[in-house]
Copies of this chain bind each other. A is one copy, B any other.
């Protein structure tokens, strides 16, 4: 199940990206090449290449001649990211619901099922599977919009989704039962080809998540 990684570079990329999203590398941390060399077992050139990639995706900030830093977080940035997720995901959702074929339906049902199982475990208090749960969440949303017929849109969405995920993780806003119900209702609406309803639920889903994240953000130490 874990991703097969051919090169040292792509292994470092996956790991560093994950470490940023899951808060192992905290916002604004200086990413010293010498240190990362040992942590991620790759040469400085390879690490640089990786950080450059992450910088152009916005997970890292590169300052000429001064090195790399984990991208900062802010209230404003969180709002921007949430708004963009609504914009991109709703746009993709519309087309996907309209165009999705049997293959899409089957994939969606499967993804929903896996997500459902993970959500039950989380609701039972099994925090050890947080990463699995979040991957299922990601794959479910991806499955919803996968028939949107625009690879460009999907790849923009993917980056924004991951940035949103970093905020989710940083405040670990378990909206629990509510978010679970929204997933079910959104999935049902999509399968019934009710585009508008699916979009409305998705927008609420993200907006409510944003609200929770914002209050957590405001009241953080």
Contact = CB atoms under 8 A, between A and B. Distances in A.
By secondary structure, the A interface counts as helix
A53 B56 CA distance: 6
A153 interface: yes
Contacts of A7: 64-65
Given A7-B65, A64-B6, A91 B87 contact: yes
A85 to B, nearest CB: 10
Contacts of A99: none
A27 interface: no
Nearest to A154: B80
A46 to B, nearest CB: 9
Contact of A80 (B84, B87, B151): B151
Nearest to A95: B83
Given A45-B45, A65-B6, A150 B52 contact: no
B53 A152 contact: no
Interface in A31-72: 45, 48-50, 52-53, 55-58, 64-65
The number of chain A residues touching the other chain, given as a range, is 20 to 34
Contact of A58 (B65, B83, B152, B160): B152
Contacts of A50: 52
A52 B56 CA distance: 9
A153 B10 CA distance: 27
A80 B153 contact: yes
A14 interface: no
A77 interface: yes
Contacts of A77: 151-152
Contacts of A53: 52-53, 55-56
What are the nearest 7 A-B pairs in CB distance? Answer: A45-B45, A80-B150, A80-B152, A49-B49, A53-B56, A56-B56, A52-B53
Interface of A: 6-7, 10, 45, 48-50, 52-53, 55-58, 64-65, 77, 80-81, 83-84, 87, 91, 150-153, 155-156, 160, 163
Given A58-B152, A84-B150, 4 more contacts: A49-B49, A53-B55, A56-B56, A87-B91
